[in-house]
Structure 1
Amino acid sequence: MQASVHIRRIAAADLEQWLPLCAEHAAYERLTYSPDGGMEELVRALTAEPPLLFAWIAMANESAIGYASATVDFSTLDHATYLHMDCLFVRDGWRGRGIGQQLWSAVHAFARARGCRTVQWQTPEWNVDAARFYLRLGATEMIKRRYVLPIETA
């Protein structure tokens, strides 16, 4: 029997199930991850006015099996609002069942409703499965270098 999968916006009550998915996603992308303070920051970002973060969770029965998150941004060069999809992750064992497509559809519908001209995102160079998935969506690959500079806070 196949579990029924539902996609919905993440609420503060989902954070206990969402944080482990974030940790799994980080491990999958070979990144370090610390949940320290994460719950409070995620709640703050999700509930700010206007929200700083938008997120969707894929649930199978009562288990979280995937998520997507995004922020609304503005492109100086395009002169337009766009949605930056920060994460799209489906738990191992659930991939290949159309869950990524369902999450993508929720993100895409949100971007359209917000009047965004594009959705932009990135994936590690080595993640060829994700690249194939994104190309099947009709996305165009743009090669850029990504830099990260930590900002020390007082």
Structure 2
Amino acid sequence: MIIRKAVESDSEKIWVLMEQLAIFENYIDSFDITPEVVKESGFRKSPPDFYCLVAEDEGEIAGILVYYFLPYTAQNKPAIYMKELYVDENYRGQKIGEQLMDALKTEAQINNCSQIKWTVAPWNEAGQKFYNRLGAKENKDWLNYEWNI
């Protein structure tokens, strides 16, 4: 398994896994991402709207980790916000998620980030166990809010 930064030619395969995640997390009805959006937003725009790490196995994309930078924090250092982590069902149980998270941690260190942030659905107990196993801690100091426009 090779963990690497995604390139534009990965866009279609990244989109497939994004769509699978939307189905898994029950937001497929509002999923408006297309392969072209992935290309434009992640690879043709400067700076890109997101960055992506991929786990590649003999030309197949087995997993993705989508993230972006929060340039300004109270610590006066950037942070990384992990938006999506998804491993194809056929590749689960091979520690691919852990490898992607380790690569993200390295990316954070290279970019002088103070922390990595993300959310996990309360019903996703497997995800919570995975993050706890990595040593991540639930932040109970803040509540998530949304304002749909």
Fold in common (TM above 0.5) = yes
TM-score, normalised via structure 2 length: 0.87
- Specify the alignment match of 1:16 in structure 2: 12
CA distance, structure 2, for counterparts of residue 95 and residue 88 of structure 1? 12
Paired residues for 1:67-106 under 5 Å: 67-74=64-71, 76-106=73-103
For residue 145 of structure 1, report the CA deviation from its aligned partner: 3.5
**% identical equivalent positions:** 27
Looking at structure 1, the residues matched to 27 and 2 of structure 2 have their Cα atoms a distance apart, in angstroms, of: 28
- Residues of 2 paired with 1:83 and 1:69: CA distance? 10
Deviation at 1:80, TM superposition (A): 3.0
Where does residue 119 of structure 2 map in the other structure?
122
Give the TM-score normalised by the residue count of structure 1: 0.84
Match of residue 147 from structure 2: 149
Q: CA deviation at 1:33?
A: 5.2
Matched, 1:62 2:62: no
Question: In the aligned structure 1, how far is the partner of 2:60 from the partner of 2:5?
Answer: 15
Written as runs of structure 1 = structure 2, the 5 A alignment for 1:26-45 is 26-32=22-28, 38-45=34-41
Distance 2:110 2:95 in 1: 23
1:6 aligns with 2:2: yes
- Give the SS at the match of 2:89: coil
Q: Are the equivalent residues in 2 in contact too, given 1:19–1:35 (CA < 8 A)?
A: no
Q: Are the structure 2 counterparts of residues 75 and 140 from structure 1 closer, same or farther at C-alpha, using a change threshold of 3 Å?
A: farther
In the alignment, structure 1 segments of 5+ residues that lack a partner are none
Aligned amino acid, residue 115 of structure 2 = T
**Pairwise CA RMSD of aligned residues?**
1.9
SS of 1:66's equivalent? strand
The structure with more helix, counted as a fraction of residues: 2
Structure 1 CA distance, aligned partners of 2:145 and 2:35? 26
Match of residue 138 from structure 1 = 135
- Contact 2:15–2:38 (CA under 8 A) maintained in structure 1: no
Offset at 1:77? 3.8
**CA deviation map 1:92-137 (0-9, x unaligned):** 1311211001111111111110110000001100111111111111
Residue identity in the other structure for 1:12: E
Helix, strand or coil: the match of 2:137?
coil
